Amino acid sequence: MALRSAVCRLLVNPKRCAIISASRSQGSAAPAQKDAEKASEKKAKASKVQFNWRDGLELEGQLTEEEIMIRDSFRDYLFHRDIVSEMGELGVLGPTIKGYGCAGTSYVAYGLIAREVERVDSGYRSVMSVQSSLVMHPIYAYGTEEQKEKWLPRLARGEILGCFGLTEPNHGSDPGGMETRCDDGKVRGFILERGMKGFTTPKIEGKFSLRASATGMIIMDEVEVPEENLLPKVSGLGGPFGCLNNARYGIAWGSLGAAEFCFHAARQYTLDRIQFGVPLARNQLMQKKMADMLTEITIGLQACLQLGRLIDAKKAAPEMISMLKRNSCGKSLDIARQARDMLGGNGISDEYHIIRHVMNLEAVNTYEGTHDIHALILGRAITGLQSFTVNN
């Protein structure tokens, strides 16, 4: 009864009656009026918003002019191989640091740079990230004024390259268990230079991943470090974790740049490749894979943009960075693997570069906190319970 009553009220609503009446009168309208309606419908169809698959949620429109300019300069520049030594000249080493020869730009701009660099190669982005977030940031955040003035301008110009050492052969995801100790027994940050007695950095050979970026071991045997090389403003694991969070943010952007390259390469390949008389891209399974790639990349970029805005506003929590580092790396690796599969046998050829991104992203998904470690960080935030160890 209540339903019938509601229907009756709708039918006797004067506004509703007017609409019904108008629609009936249109049925007997003059031909000229019908032509006008058709013209109006045609105009409406012509003005329909077109979907841009390259920018699914209009990220471009959310960027400032300065951020677009910085991004575009790297998109054009990074097709040249000989770039690492020139990064300093462009002002993108330590770009968020204010003063000391650094650009002092936004975190969003830094993320956009990382995205463009890793679109070319994860090794290039690693060099930029380590120099900016793991070398320059700790000196800027935890160092003395004398240390900042001595090191930051030279690092910003690319005159010297730095590296970051934290984990050990027996302690990867558990840096608190490291066996290397300084005299006071606390976790401290030190600036070490090649040439110090007992300090060597042999190159790690045999890598299948990040081959564009040289990686070395750090061996310290009774190294005597002068007091002026101690970073005095922090002790404990909060210092290195602060550096890692800074780097993880850039990784969240950068890995999506690699995913974009793989997506675009797979799209073009399947459009050009003819099988059974038609382009591979006409296959429903191929289109489904590309739809999934586009969706994950687009959503990931929007999340990174929001995180960058929050960091610039000093409203970001470390768990936000963990969430996006984990999501971006995992999704990007999945996309790269799918793209490799779409190219069939050509997917493992260096002619198409996708397999290089697959191998690189395997490392990117692992360093700066593995997929599982970031899951535990998020799980702790969700439940309030620590699950890294079996201890109470």
Catalytic machinery residues: 368
Q: Give the 3-state secondary structure percentages of the chain, helix then strand then coil, rounded to 5.
A: 60, 5, 35
Residue 171 DSSP symbol: B
Report the distance separating Cα 325 and Cα 91, nearest Å. Answer: 25
Largest CA distance in the chain: 98
Q: Is residue 260 within 8 Å of residue 118, measured between CB atoms?
A: no
Which amino acid does the sequence have at 123? G
Long-range contacts of 73-78 (CB under 8 A, 24+ apart): 74/112, 74/113, 74/116, 74/117, 75/116, 75/119, 78/116, 78/117, 78/119, 78/120, 78/124
* Distance from C-alpha of 187 to C-alpha of 174, rounded to nearest angstrom: 13
For 166, list phi and psi in degrees, rounded to 5.
Answer: -140, -55
